[in-house]
Structure formats: C-alpha cells, structure tokens
Structure 1
Amino acid sequence: MQTVTLPVTGMTCAACQSRVQRQLTRTPGVRDASVNLLMGSATVTFDPALSNAAALVKVVLDSGYGAELPGTTDDVVEQLATRDATASHEYDALRIRALVSGVAGAVAMVISMPLMARNDHAGMGVVADPFMRWVMRAVSPGLESALPWLYALPTHVITWLLLTMTVAVMVWAGRQFYVNAWKALQHRAADMNTLVAVGTGAAFIYSVLATLVPGFFTAHGVAPDVYYEAVIFIIALILTGRMFEARATRTTSNALRSLAQLRPETARVMRPTPDGGETEVTVSLRDVRVSDLVVIRPGERLPVDGVIESGSTSIDESMLTGESMPVAKAVGDRVIGGTINAAGAVRYRATTLGSRSVLAQIMMLMRDAQASRAPIQGLADRISAIFVPVVIGLSLLTFAIWFGVLASGGTEAGAASVRAFAAAVAVLIIACPCAMGLAVPTAVMVATGRGAEGGVLIKGGAALQRAGDVTTVVLDKTGTVTEGRPAVTDIAHASASSLDDAALLTSAASLELSSEHPIAGAIVRAARARGLTLVVPTEFESLSGRGATAMVGAQWVAVGNTTLMDELSLDVSSMAPVVATLQANARTAIHVAVDGALAGVIAVADPVRTESAAAIASLQRLGLHVIMLTGDNAATANAVARDVGITQVVAGVLPAGKVAAIADLQRSGAIVAMVGDGVNDAPALAQA
C-alpha cells in the first residue's frame, strides 16, 4: 500500500468534504481516504497496482474541486511554506470581504427603514413578527429625526439604491458562492454554496420584482417588500464563518511553523578547490548533499543530520528530547539538524536530508495527526450529504402548503403565490448559515480563546469533544512538571576548603560569565540573585564536554565534571558521597577548583514547579491515571516522579516514541490527554 497527501482547493463546507471523500473512497484500489476541510488536503492510502496519484487527482477534479499532484520537493518545510502562503492569502481576502459586506448590510438596513415604516403605516407587510415590528417602530422615529433627507426620498429611489448596493456585494464579495454552486450543479451535486446561492438568489429575484413591478404586489394586497439587506447580511454572515475557518486553517500550522523555524536556511560545508584542497563555503540548505562535510561553530543551529568526524562539543537537544541539559558529543556520535551547538567547533558528515531528516519526520508526524478526523466527523458527513437537498425540499414544501392553505381560504391566486414565495424564501435564508458551517467553528474559536486566556492551548474540536471522557493524563517532564531551565539547587564544600557559599559561587559564576553553556547561565543567575559581585574572567578556556578554566582576579578557577578534575590531578573522592546523593536526586554535580585545590560542588537541576505536586494530586483525586513521558534518562525522570507523586514513568523516548507510547495507551482503551510545552511534544500532543 502507498499513502499520498493531495492538496485540494475549492472545498467550503462539510458537504464538499464529504463528497470528495466519498468519491475517493469509491475509487478502485483505494483502501482509505481522509479529507480535511480546514487543511485543504486529502490523505489517501491505495494499492499502487490498481491506482496512482494522477488518477486520484482526476477523481477530485471530476468531483468539481481543484487538486494537484504533491509538490515535486519532498521537503516538508517548503510544502508548509506554500500552504501557509495560500492560507494567509485566503484569510486576508475573506476578512476584507466579510468586513465590507457587514458594513454594507448595516447601511442597507438603515436605508431600508423608511420602506418598512411606509409599509407598516399602510397596513401591509409580509412579515407580521410583533418583535420586529416593535423594533422598527422604536427605531424609525429617531432615525427619521436624525436623517430626514433619507425619509424624504421616493420609494423607487431607495429601492434602486438598495438594488445597486446588493448587486455590488453579490458580484464582488459573494461571487464565490454562485460560481461554486454552478460547478456543483454541473456535477449534479449540492453543497452549502448551493444553499447560499438559492437562498440569496430567491430573495434577490423577489426583491427585484418588487422593485420593477411594485404595482403587481399592491394589487394583490401585499406590500412590495424588498429583502436586499437580508441578501447582503447573509453573504456577510457566511463570509464571516469562512473567515473563522480560514483562521483556524492558519492556526493549525502554528506548531508546524515553530518546528520549521528550527532549521537554518544555510549551511557551511567544505568543498574541493581546483588545486586539490578544500575550502569552507556557505550554501543554501537545498544545496547540501549527503556526505558533505558540515562545519558548525558554538552557538549555531545544526542544518542537517549527520555524524561527527572531528572535534567534540555539547549539543542542546531540547527541541528533540525537551531536556534543558546539553548532551556531550564526540567523534562518531550522531547529531540532529535543528539542535544547537552549545560549546566547541565541530565538523560532521551529512547523512540524511529533506523528508528523511529527524526534524522533517517530526513535522510529518504532526501534520498527519492534524489531518486525522474528529470522531463526530462521520455524523457530520452523513448529515451534510443530505442537508442541502432536504432544505430545498422543505422550501418547496413550504411554498406548496402556504399556497394551498391561502388559496383554499379564498385568497386570490396571485396574492397566495406572493405570500407562499416569501415563506419559501424565508426557509432558504434561515438555513443558509447552517450549524455545520458556523456553530462548530464558532464554538471551537470561543473555547480555544478562553483556554488560551488560562494558558491552555487546545488543538481543536476533536480534543474538546473527547475532553470529558479522558481517563489518562500524560505529562511531559521538562517545562511541564519542572521549570524548564536549570537552576542551582545545592552548594557543598570540600573539607579542606575555607570558602563559604558566597565565595564559592562568586568564583564559579565569574568564570561562567564567558560561557554560553546553559549550566553556566544557571550558576550566573544564582549568583546575581544573591547580589554577589562578579569579576570578568581572563584567560578563559572552554574545554568541550568537560568544563572551563580561567583567571578570576588573582585566582585560577576551574569549573567542570570529574573528567576535568582528573586531568588537573585533583582528588575528588572526598566529595563522592555528596555527588552520589545529588545524582540520585536528579542533580548535576559541577566541581569547582580554586588555585589548584578542590573547593566544592555546585548542584544544578531543572527544579520541580511549586504547584506540580498539588496539581497532579488533584488529577488523581478525579480518578485520572497520571503518567510521565520524557526524553530524559530514567534516573532523573524517576527522581522527579517521586517528588510529585507519579508512579508510572516512560523515559528516554524521542518524539516518535512519545507518539507510539500514546498510541499504545489509546489501543488499550484509554482516552489520553497530553500536557506538554515544547515543540518536541507537538507530535504527541497531536496524537492525544
């Protein structure tokens, strides 16, 4: 089996989505088809012996919608950029059309007020709603006082002015409804565009007749009411709903966009020179080739995946694992594009590019999860398939009933036809902004907006639908249960040292002023928080994977791990019990030596949030099973879990592993909620 994702254009409602999916599913060789309205895509799994991507595109085109083969590039970042540009353009266009239509509708309502007042005064009017009549009678006198010139205009001038405005709105803002409805009709189908076109078209034709031949209506005792403002408002309302959907489309790309921004646009690679040597050149990322030798300096983000060939460093892999502590890397170690080189300069051999890179795989996991269908989608599809024909049928039935009742009651046939037609138009107009088109997007927008105010990001309607049934809560560790950045937790002194806490921390923090390492930042922050005065170091030397040395004033200071202390021939055995205790509690022990003697140990860790234990206990009291899922090592994860009362831990997993772990829970019957904060959590958040 083969799976392909096709960009699909022209879908505007659930009926469109349902029709495309139905046609694809019926195609020979297709095992499964999932069409996503918001993302404008169709993901199809098919047997390549029976079908192909070109045949699937033809099926979509034959259904009346646009489709094209997947991009020639397999670069998911470039595909995302193309989709983003399309979504942003569509949203901006819809926003302008919805705003202008809404303003035009309000103006048309004001202009229509003299007509309503005149018909009411004459005792004629199709609509006899007491509330609307009360509103009109309450507003009209004040409006007449404010705009006497408007009420002085002849009726035919007002109706022609309204007709001109309505035609302009229908042609400029509402053109897509009529074009798409015509396309659907050509394919013997009906969708929401059909309903909008028929409803507004019927109201418009009725109003034009009332404008051109008002005498026909009055001759039958019916006011020549016009519904121009209703036509404009319906168009504005539907455009507003589609604007919400376009904004949702753009919002679904936010997490993917964050991932895409992790990848630099260029890379420095070694290329041969005419004299047989090599030179360092900067090239576009698309020009990097497998086996290129890539050069990376401290603080830079790695452009592609590869294996280190020379040098050693520490890599910030938080985008991959979520963990704030850098990972030591040496010759032969694998490095991942999108991570940050925190320390030394290295050269590494590029191994995977484009869609095969780890970052691209994470993005594709996220994209596929977003394209999955909400549980209620099946019901929406079944309803949308019959909704439009049913509404049109009800409109015709309404006309027949009204005409029959009025005619049998002695009403003249012409008058009965006019009143019955008005009632039938009302059914179409009321049905235009259907719940499937507006209610769900509106509810999702309100819910996600309220959630964002409380710091909770909700990925969409499917998540909201299932939230009440959640049985298991999976928590990321770093940045969720913990603070998300390292901090100094303990200071311990060597028995032979005379330095107190302040002196020890001052020496270490002064040295670390010249370091970019996250642990260095934690030590500097701790010193400044205590109000200590730091000295800018001299003769600073960064020792990749081990630590650093420098002169701090007149003192020689070394800060690093046991490997560095061994190189300096310093005995750290006296601190071994302290270090073991710190490590058992998920602390990283940093040794500090001053003037050739071990001064003590500074412990750094990602501290647990003060509210974590109470929040987890509250979840457990609700009967929810709480699990910690982290890319960190098991020892650190278990130590944090003990502190907050979590009994089940899954440690050492990368983004794909997190997705698999949640999928396993779901297959076992659990309804899973995932809580995470980093882009490395994005695929798992989408899966949950």
Structure 2
Amino acid sequence: MNQTTFIIDAMHCGACTGRVERALSAETGVQDASANLMARSARVSFEAPATPASLAAALEAAGYPPARAQALIHPEGDAAKAAEILAAQSGVFSVTPASEGLQVSYAQGAIAPSELIRALQDAGVTATLASGGAAPAPVTEKQAAEAARLKRDVILSAVLTTPVFVLAMGAHTIPGFHQAIMNSIGMQASWWIQFVLTALVLALPGRVFLRLGFPALLRGAPEMNSLVAMGASAAFLYSALVVLVPGLFPPEAREVYFEAAAVIVTLILVGRWLEARAKGRAGEAISRLVALRPTSARVQREDGVIELPVDELAPGDIVLLNPGERVAVDGVVTEGHGWIDESMLTGEPAPIEKTEGAPVTGGTVNGQSALAYRVTATGGDTVLSRIIALVEEAQGQKLPVQALVDKVTRVFVPAVMALSVLTFALWMLAGQGFTPAFIAAVSVMIIACPCAMGLATPVSILVGTGRGAELGLLFRRGDALQRLSEVKIVGFDKTGTLTMGAPALTDLIAAPGMDGNEALARAAAAEARSEHPLAHAILAEAAARALPERQAKRIKALTGRGLSAQVEGAPFLIGNTRAMDEAGIDTAPLAAQAADLAGAGKTPIWIAIDGRLAALIAVSDPVKDSAKQAIAALHQAGVETAMVSGDTRRTAEAVGRTLGIDRVIAEVLPEGKVAAVTELGRAGAVAFVGDGINDAPALAAADVGIAIGTGTDVAIEAAEVVLMGGDPQGVARALVLSRAVMRNIRQNLFWAFAYNTALIPVAMGVLKPFGGPGLSPMLAAGAMAFSSVFVVTNALRLRRA
C-alpha cells in the first residue's frame, strides 16, 4: 500500500474537504483519502492502478490542484534506470530527460529532493541534485505568510470600503448628512463614487472570492467562496445597473447596495485574517519542536575539532557538547558525567543523569558538565524527528465525529443556495417587492458559509495534539483522542509500567540438604544470555556474592513458565510453580515460605537440580513512585483500573492492594493478555498500558493502546498513544487531555450548527411578519466571520489544558 500527501491551498471550508476526498476516492485503487482543512493537505492511501500523477489530475479536474515542485537531478551512469527508480517514488508526478539530467516533478509535502537522491543511492545509483525547488514551508510559516497577505488585503479593502460605507449609511445614521450630500456632490455623484470604489474592492482584495467561487459554481460544486461571490456580486451588479441604466427599474426600486457588497468582502477578509492568525498560534507546538533542532555541532576529528551543519552529521561521529548547549542528534555518551534536561520531550521536569553509555536525545539541553557523545541516528531517524512526524500525522487524522460534519457540509452549500432562491421567491410572492426579497436572499447566502463547521474538529485536534506533545504525550493517530475520551476502564501491565522494571533478588532459601549458593550459581549460568528482567536480578546477586562461574548448555525458554538447561552435566530447571508441576517436582518443603513471599508482594521462583527441589528465591520489582498517584488520578476521573500480570496471584494482588487497583488479573501468559483485555472490554471501552514486546498484541487489541515510551519499539508501534517518559501519571494526563479536546470539539460543533440553524431563518426574514428583526448582508457577513474566529479561538484554550 502506497501513501502520499498533497498540499492543496484551494481548500477553504468543510465543503472543500469533502469534495477533495470524493475526487480522490473516486479513483480506482484509492483505499483511503482524508483532507485536512487546517493543514490544507490531503493524505491518500492507494495501490495500482492509481498513481500520484493520476491522483493529481483528479484533484485538478475537481478544481483543487495540488502544490507542485521541480527538481533537476544529475545521475551518473544509466539515466534510464535512474528515471525508472525516480518514477516509482510515491509523490513523483513525472520524470523527463533534460540537458543536465532528469527533471522531476513532485508533490510538495509528499517527498523532498534529498529523499529522491537517497532513493537512487539505495538502489546503487550515484546522483547529485543539480537544482531543487524550495522545500515546502512548514505549515506555521505558510499560515504566517497567509496572515500577512490577508492583513494587506484587509487594509486595502477597509480603505476603499470606508468612504462607500459613510456615503451610504451616513444618511441613515447622521442627521442632515443626506441633505449635505444632495447640496454638495449630489446623489448621482455619490452613487458613482460608491460604484468605482466597490468595483476596486471586488477587483483587488475581493478577487479571491470571484476567482475561486464562480469556477466552483460552474463545475456544479459550489462552496464557501461561491456563496460570498454570488452574494457580493448580486449586490454590486444590481446597484451598477441602477447607476448605469436606471431606466430599467421603476423609481421605487432605484436603490443601490454598494456598501453591502464592499462591507461583505471586507468583513469576511477580516474574519479570515483573524482566523489565519489564530491558526498560526494553534500550530505553535510543532514550531517549538522544530526549533529544538540545532543548526550546527562541533565534531571531533583526528586533526582537531570542526563545526559541521547538523544535516552533515553521520552515525559514528563524536560530537562535543558544551554546558547549556542543546544536543544536536541522538547518540550515546562516550565521555563525561552530567545531567540533561529532557522535559521538552518527556514532559518530566527532573533532569536525567548521564554517564558513559547513556543515550542522549537530539533537542534536549545539557546541564553544567561538558560531554562527548557518539552519533547513533540522524535526520528522520532521530527521536525528535519521529515525534514531529507522529504529531503531524495525528493532526492530519479525522475523528469519527467528523463523519457527521462531512455529511452535513456535503449538502449544506447547495441547500443554502436553494433556500436563498426560495427566500427571494417567497418575499416576491408575498408582495413585499424586489428590494426586501433581494436583501433577504443575499443575507441567506452570506450567513450560511460553513467555515466554522469545517474548522470545528481539525483546529481542536491541531491544538490538542500539540499540547500533548509538550506534555510528553504523543497521539500516533488522531482518532485515538476520541476513543480515549470514551474509555471506562484502564488496564495496566505490571512490570516496567507500574513497577521500575528492574527487579532485585531479595531472598534465597535453600531446600533441605541443598546448597543455596550453588543453586544460585547454576541459575546465573542458565540465565547468562537471557534478556528477561528477572535474569538480570539473578546475575547481579550472583556477581555481588562473587559466586564461581558454572557452564550451561541446551538452554531452552519455557514461555510463561521459566527456563530449562543442562548445567555442569545435570538437568536444571528454574521457573514458577507451573513449571515445577509440569516437571513433577515437589515444592511442598518450601511452600509455606513461598506463600509468605508472595503475600509480601515478591515473586517466588523455584530452582530444581537433577529433578530435585534445590532452592527458592524471591525477586521484587519496586513500584514506581508515581504509580499510586496515577491510579488515584484515574479513579478521580471516574475510570476503573485493572492490572494484568503473569505473576502469581498473591504477588499481583499484593501490588494491586498497594496501588489501590480495582481488578487484578494474575498468572496470565503472554498470549492470554489479549483475552484478558477482551474480558475487560465487556464493561466498556478499554485502554491498555504496556511497555514490553509481549504487550504488543494486547495494545493492539484494546480500544486504545498506550505505550510507555521507555519501552520497546514493538510496543510503541502497536499503540495509538505513546507516553514519552516512564511516568504512569501520563495515562491520566492523556485521558484528561482527550476529554478536554472532545469537549472543545463538541462546543465548536454546537456553536457552528446552532449558529447556522438560528440565523438562517432570521436572514430569511421569518421574524419580520411578527415585528422581529431581519438580517442585512453586512451583519450576516460580520456574523459569519465571527463564527469562524470564535471556533478557532475556543480551540486555542486547549493550549492551557
């Protein structure tokens, strides 16, 4: 399955996103298409026969052309092979021979020239970038540029509109103003001034509505710009005819509405400008993450220290890090001892101690000690780059609740146009005359623009996921926000999630007639190559006691039970009670001690040598300091908690009692965790929190999988939410944030729908027969602009969540 992303600047409302998605989905081979109004982008999953070029053509035919860029690449050797490789890259439209190499046309946002060069090199083709189109500006930069452009348009439109508004409305609001106009320049001259200035408003700052609105209307796909273009143009054309050929109209119908056309354009431009400014603030989280990347680093070479751009660093380089300096890329400390502030990535305020061999992450800030580290990852492979990619991907996702909005906006604009025509017809049939009917029809078109509906969901996702990143909470998928808010029960893995994941051996009890130290020495031999946390505890204790080394072979892991081996020529078995029972080994002599250890929250482990019970050891995994507060916070949020563990029941229940967990499911084999999650799910939506490889199936099976970021990559890939730190309190933070985002989305949707539902009838004039107010086109434009600004501003409150 191929994936690509198109940047589409022509999207302006919820109706636009729906048409983009339908245009892409109609192409054979497209599996999924999702357009994002905030990011002005569309993400497509497709397979043959669909290609990026065919998808781009479909978008252009629908009136939403994707942003394109050009790159000139010079391959060494077989140009035909290079062209074939480049053409196969997702996001490439075409590859054509040029005098200096190959001219590549590609979709901005889907692929970059550096990635094209890397694809050739991976295929064994040496190539250089002769020239490349400018990299697509980050979304926040584009939004800032859009806000600056709109500000210029607003100023120009306001300067041109003010005289029109004063000339038209002064007579209605200022005593004697009308007579002053008649006695000075005259009404006809006043109308001509309004005509010229309004024409400039529509031709200059307002041309965007005409340029986009009417073509969409002619394609049979009207959208927000169509409504504005029709409303403003209708008011202008009617007024222009009154000025140019007044004989077409009876004297009572000779009124001009230039101020309506000009003010409509100005107010909507003001709304868009304020909206663009607010959007820029909404995307600041990504900007701050990007800003964490240093531009250069000091690298140790044989002949001294040189300064290199970060983009030129390679794995294996030794980078010198001064006190207070920001880490350039991911690496491992090779020299020095100090503390590094990782709060911008994990959300945890306490600096982390770093010694030789400790990992460091690009973007974090060094403390007061000088360090040196070896580069292990660069470019898109660094943790910071992966975080940015995850956040951007989540921000481009749609929530299930958006499906309702899409269905409404799909029919909304055509329905509004029909209502506008109906309004005009009803007023004319009622004998109210052309002017009231015309004003009401234009007001309906203007008031009903579905901008707020289209922004209600994506802007909240943008701000919410950005805020989550600042708190060390990564939502790998946007829809996880909605599902997490609905969770009724949270299940935890124990080891490494609620506990430190680094158990220590606390007890060694020899069986009657056996040597406890010998049993431990053999256990260390058998566990020497194991990665299991309990193995590390056994090896650490054996080393601490300076026990002699033993030789082990035929080592075999018994999943969920223990380990068998041949140590010093004798059969050896270490594991839980089930392993002993299956081997027919009698554990009765130490059963009472095992029960006491389990009751104390320790894990009893049996050791058998040559078919006889040799010793009982106990391992305890300390509970994380914040685990109890995390469970309490979830209870306060009205969520039930559970713990799923492979430990013995008594051990697991002891930990559960300590933490105040509601339900404890113990003695669960790795493959049994999925069944345990399914069982928990019968009480409602369930989230599962884990960190190990054996947690991956349960994370995938849960309604929401939450991975501890300090865990394995497999667990993180299987989860929808990642806690960058190891603090389980992040689960409660994520839950609270998801609920805040969904509450914010519901507020936005209510405002958008209620606003249109309430004001469309007012604009139609249903209250006028009862002495109520109508709605002028100018007030309609102002209300419509305010609606969009309100939605975006409301979403910005999530920055303080």
2: distance between equivalents of 1:165 and 1:446?
Answer: 39
Name the counterpart of 2:188.
156
2: distance between equivalents of 1:388 and 1:315?
Answer: 54
Matches within 5 A, 1:281-680: 281-401=306-426, 406=431, 419-420=433-434, 423-424=437-438, 426-434=440-448, 436-438=450-452, 620=635, 623-624=638-639, 653-654=708-709, 663=721, 674-675=735-736
2: distance between equivalents of 1:426 and 1:300?
Answer: 63
One-letter amino acid of the counterpart of residue 190, structure 2: I
Matches within 5 A, 1:220-235: 222-235=252-265
1:50 aligns with 2:49: yes
1:244-298 deviation line (CA, Å, top 9, x unaligned): 4423432332111111121111111234xxxxx4321112112223333322223
1:31 aligns with 2:31: yes
User: Is contact 2:209–2:225 with CA below 8 Å preserved after alignment?
Assistant: yes
1:212 aligns with 2:211: no
Q: How far does residue 627 in structure 1 lie from its aligned partner after superposition?
A: 10
Q: How far does residue 358 in structure 1 lie from its aligned partner after superposition?
A: 0.8
Give the 3-state SS of the residue equivalent to 1:229 in structure 2.
Answer: helix
The alpha-carbon distance between structure 1 residues 293 and 618, as it changes in their structure 2 partners (threshold 3 A), is: closer
User: Is contact 1:114–1:151 with CA below 8 Å preserved after alignment?
Assistant: no
Q: How far does residue 399 in structure 1 lie from its aligned partner after superposition?
A: 4.5
The alpha-carbon distance between structure 1 residues 438 and 662, as it changes in their structure 2 partners (threshold 3 A), is: closer
2: distance between equivalents of 1:41 and 1:245?
Answer: 17
User: Is contact 2:165–2:263 with CA below 8 Å preserved after alignment?
Assistant: no
Give the 3-state SS of the residue equivalent to 1:300 in structure 2.
Answer: coil
Q: How far does residue 14 in structure 1 lie from its aligned partner after superposition?
A: 1.3
1:255 aligned to which of 285, 296, 304: 285
Name the counterpart of 1:64.
63
2: distance between equivalents of 1:676 and 1:469?
Answer: 12
The alpha-carbon distance between structure 1 residues 468 and 350, as it changes in their structure 2 partners (threshold 3 A), is: closer
Name the counterpart of 1:125.
none
The alpha-carbon distance between structure 1 residues 257 and 675, as it changes in their structure 2 partners (threshold 3 A), is: farther
Give the 3-state SS of the residue equivalent to 2:293 in structure 1.
Answer: coil
Name the counterpart of 1:88.
144
Aligned residues: 485
1:331-359 deviation line (CA, Å, top 9, x unaligned): 44432211223354333332222111110
Give the 3-state SS of the residue equivalent to 1:66 in structure 2.
Answer: coil
Name the counterpart of 1:532.
none
1: distance between equivalents of 2:169 and 2:322?
Answer: 72
The alpha-carbon distance between structure 1 residues 326 and 114, as it changes in their structure 2 partners (threshold 3 A), is: closer
Matches within 5 A, 1:50-129: 50-67=49-66, 68=68, 69=107, 70=110, 71-73=112-114, 81-98=137-154, 100-101=156-157, 105=161, 107-113=163-169
User: Is contact 1:269–1:280 with CA below 8 Å preserved after alignment?
Assistant: yes
Give the 3-state SS of the residue equivalent to 2:327 in structure 1.
Answer: coil
User: Is contact 2:424–2:440 with CA below 8 Å preserved after alignment?
Assistant: no
One-letter amino acid of the counterpart of residue 280, structure 1: V
Q: How far does residue 360 in structure 1 lie from its aligned partner after superposition?
A: 0.5
2: distance between equivalents of 1:108 and 1:466?
Answer: 52
Name the counterpart of 1:6.
6
Give the 3-state SS of the residue equivalent to 1:194 in structure 2.
Answer: helix
Name the counterpart of 2:762.
none
One-letter amino acid of the counterpart of residue 423, structure 1: A
Q: How far does residue 676 in structure 1 lie from its aligned partner after superposition?
A: 7.3
1: distance between equivalents of 2:11 and 2:157?
Answer: 22
User: Is contact 2:157–2:201 with CA below 8 Å preserved after alignment?
Assistant: yes
1:388-429 deviation line (CA, Å, top 9, x unaligned): 3333333344445555665xxxxxxxxx9xx44762563233
Give the 3-state SS of the residue equivalent to 2:299 in structure 1.
Answer: strand
1:582-620 deviation line (CA, Å, top 9, x unaligned): xxxxxxxxxxxxxxxxxxxxxxxx999xxx98x997984
2: distance between equivalents of 1:72 and 1:262?
Answer: 23
The alpha-carbon distance between structure 1 residues 235 and 325, as it changes in their structure 2 partners (threshold 3 A), is: same
One-letter amino acid of the counterpart of residue 87, structure 1: Q
Unaligned runs of 5+ in 2: 69-106, 117-133, 492-623, 644-653, 664-687, 692-706, 724-730, 739-797
Q: How far does residue 658 in structure 1 lie from its aligned partner after superposition?
A: 7.8
One-letter amino acid of the counterpart of residue 290, structure 2: A
Name the counterpart of 2:202.
170
1:632-667 deviation line (CA, Å, top 9, x unaligned): xxxxxx99x9899999987892288789666599xx
Which one is further off, 153-162 or 186-195? 186-195
1: distance between equivalents of 2:625 and 2:720?
Answer: 26
Q: How far does residue 674 in structure 1 lie from its aligned partner after superposition?
A: 3.8
User: Is contact 2:488–2:640 with CA below 8 Å preserved after alignment?
Assistant: yes
The alpha-carbon distance between structure 1 residues 331 and 79, as it changes in their structure 2 partners (threshold 3 A), is: farther
Give the 3-state SS of the residue equivalent to 1:432 in structure 2.
Answer: helix
2: distance between equivalents of 1:447 and 1:107?
Answer: 42
The alpha-carbon distance between structure 1 residues 439 and 311, as it changes in their structure 2 partners (threshold 3 A), is: closer
One-letter amino acid of the counterpart of residue 324, structure 2: G
User: Is contact 2:297–2:328 with CA below 8 Å preserved after alignment?
Assistant: yes
Name the counterpart of 2:89.
none
Q: How far does residue 207 in structure 1 lie from its aligned partner after superposition?
A: 0.8
One-letter amino acid of the counterpart of residue 283, structure 2: S
User: Is contact 1:241–1:437 with CA below 8 Å preserved after alignment?
Assistant: no
2: distance between equivalents of 1:248 and 1:159?
Answer: 37
Q: How far does residue 159 in structure 1 lie from its aligned partner after superposition?
A: 1.0
Q: How far does residue 323 in structure 1 lie from its aligned partner after superposition?
A: 2.9
2: distance between equivalents of 1:367 and 1:51?
Answer: 25
The alpha-carbon distance between structure 1 residues 42 and 642, as it changes in their structure 2 partners (threshold 3 A), is: farther
2:271 aligned to which of 230, 241, 249: 241
User: Is contact 2:342–2:365 with CA below 8 Å preserved after alignment?
Assistant: yes
2: distance between equivalents of 1:472 and 1:172?
Answer: 57
User: Is contact 2:170–2:178 with CA below 8 Å preserved after alignment?
Assistant: no
Q: How far does residue 156 in structure 1 lie from its aligned partner after superposition?
A: 0.6
User: Is contact 1:200–1:234 with CA below 8 Å preserved after alignment?
Assistant: yes
1: distance between equivalents of 2:244 and 2:733?
Answer: 63
Please report the RMSD computed on the Cα atoms of aligned residues, expressed in angstroms.
4.9
The alpha-carbon distance between structure 1 residues 472 and 94, as it changes in their structure 2 partners (threshold 3 A), is: farther
Q: How far does residue 19 in structure 1 lie from its aligned partner after superposition?
A: 0.8
Q: How far does residue 18 in structure 1 lie from its aligned partner after superposition?
A: 1.0
Q: How far does residue 199 in structure 1 lie from its aligned partner after superposition?
A: 1.5
User: Is contact 1:199–1:425 with CA below 8 Å preserved after alignment?
Assistant: no
The two structures have a TM-score, normalised by structure 2, of 0.51
Give the 3-state SS of the residue equivalent to 1:280 in structure 2.
Answer: strand
Which one is further off, 332-341 or 2-11? 332-341
1:155-177 deviation line (CA, Å, top 9, x unaligned): 11111121122112111221100
User: Is contact 1:252–1:370 with CA below 8 Å preserved after alignment?
Assistant: no
